[in-house]
Structure 1
Amino acid sequence: MLSPTVVVVLAAVLLGETLALWLGRRAKVDVDRSVVAIVLAGALIARLAFVWQWRTAYLAAPGRPTVLNLWASWCPPCRREMPILREAQANYPDINFVFVNQGESAQQVHRYLEEQDLTLSNLLLDPQGQTAASLGQVAFPTTYLFNAAGRLIDVRVGELTAATLAERLARLTALEGSKKAGKRLPAQRLLSSSHR
């Protein structure tokens, strides 16, 4: 039986071959089908790998609130808040933290993490910055807080201080606690007071 990765690669190569053949006939030029197939397969595999990483990181915590942080190592505010987020990840085991690096290679991210002596769980790479683009974000860092049902509760554009993060996490856990107890806190109150 073929692994899912092999199936994806074969499907991508087949798609690339088909597209290259079609383009060659359509434009009546000689198209190097193997090059087109490899480029398309590589692009598809990279995108599917990112989607799989996100799905794995997010689904690893069903029923738990999630903090999604978009960051880059060249961003000074991102660099300042990363140790704070690492501590929060260690101190709040009931909250799923996902860190999505935007626009950098694995080597750049690895070098930064080693230089800063940072260890993070659920670290994803998005070299094309598609996550930020799909969320309409242009500034880093940006942090999203989702409740256990996956609903967006809060967004912070800019650097988080330890106090600000603690306040937002306290609100998020209070909201989750009140839902478990059968009480409902109005999300509008939480959102309106969170954009300070």
Structure 2
Amino acid sequence: MTFKTLTTALVTATALTGAAFAESHSESGNPMVGGAAMMADMNIIENAVNSADHTTLVAAVKAADLVDTLSGEGPFTVFAPTNAAFDMISEESLNALLQPENKAQLQKILTCHVVAANAMSDAIAGMIADDGGTHPVPTVGGCTLQAKMDGNTITLTDENGREATVTIADVKQSNGVIHVIDRVLLPAQ
């Protein structure tokens, strides 16, 4: 199965389940993500599968065998790239990453988007200010991202100088928080 086929199947499943959560979403105070309600009492994976903007990320998490980890107790902060962020990578490269022989590389890339803490945007902004404008963010994958402020918006720079912007912050989860970003971050190459 190709990456595009897998993500198409996930979009269809998302469309069928997303509406069921929208009604109770108003009580959580969470922002909508990918047209779906994000429930604070659901874990990262349970919410991510409902976002039409994160089908590629969900497919990659499944291919990397990280579903159980990100469904676990946490706490985790996940910087979640959108489908558009993954579209900046060639389909050939994405399909190659899904191959079983590249699972370790895919796991490394994905865990470079995960921090072992529950870091809301105000806490991140405070750490950036305390550190004079740039705060190092060590990830579960062993990468160190550099967090900065661009006005009121948090940006993250990976070890290759690639910058991602947090487009939706503070999506509360039962096991942490998701911050939606507009670029895939990579370990040092």
Structure number with the bigger relative contact order (C-alpha 8 A, sep ≥ 6) is 2
Greater gyration radius: 1
- Scaled by the length of structure 2, the TM-score of the pair is 0.26
